Amino acid sequence: MQTTCVRPLALLALAALAWVSACKPPPAAPGPEPAPVRPPAAVVAMDLGGQKVLVMPVQSAAGVGASREQITAEVVFALREWDSRTTWVTPDQLRAALRRSPGYAPDPAALPTDSWMHHGERYVVAPLVTQLRRYTALMDARLVLVLRDARFLPVPDGSGGVVRLSAGVVDSRNGNVIWFGDADGETRPQADAAGLASAAAALAARMVVRSDR
């Protein structure tokens, strides 16, 4: 009768494999989903005291599901609801005045680019500030709200995204940026009118102190 023998080297290999399997750490549990990126803190909300503010149309938009005109109109509506003492001069009112003064200044839909930061200070320079001064002179205003952009940003957990509005308010006399900031709307499954409206309301609340006539 022949006896089957296991070679010593095979025994060692089996033992080593068992040891490695026993010492292998269990797979790590998945960590929590990262929180949505929130906008940077805006400067303190302004009390405009019933001044006149000229509103520029939003300069760029991506994935919001609305035209630039619709976005601008939504922001103007939210601002008037939040601060009815201030006179919010719309881009349509500015364009009507520009048509009565042909050649005075270009359409405000494509403002000159500017870094909004020079020598460590927040202000705008020519040609942007020159164009803003022309607009305010025509409309008898001093402050200009520039709606810089509107974007739809997905949230990390995949549940949808938020509309983010970025804006700044410029004193057209000296180019100083007296307010700047971003505001996010509520999370929505996709870009829609409700998400845009909530972003506009959030921007109004961040930018100005609530005031009624």
**Identity of the amino acid at 168:** G
Interior/surface letters 1-35, b for 16+ CB within 10 angstroms, e for the rest: eeeeeeeeeeeeeeeeeeeeeeeeeeeeeeeeeee
In a domain, 40, yes or no: no
In a domain, 197, yes or no: yes
In a domain, 85, yes or no: yes
Tally of domains in the chain? 1
- Peptide bond between residue 127 and the one before it cis (omega within 30 degrees of 0): yes
- The domain that holds 186 is classified in CATH as 3.40.50.10610
Tokens describing residue 159: 């549940």
Segments forming the whole domain that contains residue 102: 52-207
In a domain, 61, yes or no: yes
Tokens describing residue 111: 């403002």
Report pLDDT digits (tens) over 12-65. 444 444 444 444 455 555 544 444 556 666 789 999 999 999 999 999 999 999
In a domain, 32, yes or no: no
pTM score of the predicted model: 0.81
In a domain, 198, yes or no: yes
Tell whether the torsion through CA atoms of 90, 145, 194 and 50 is positive or negative: negative
In a domain, 41, yes or no: no
In a domain, 76, yes or no: yes
Report pLDDT digits (tens) over 70-114. 999 999 999 999 999 999 999 999 999 999 999 999 999 999 999
Q: Is the pLDDT of residue 189 over 70?
A: yes
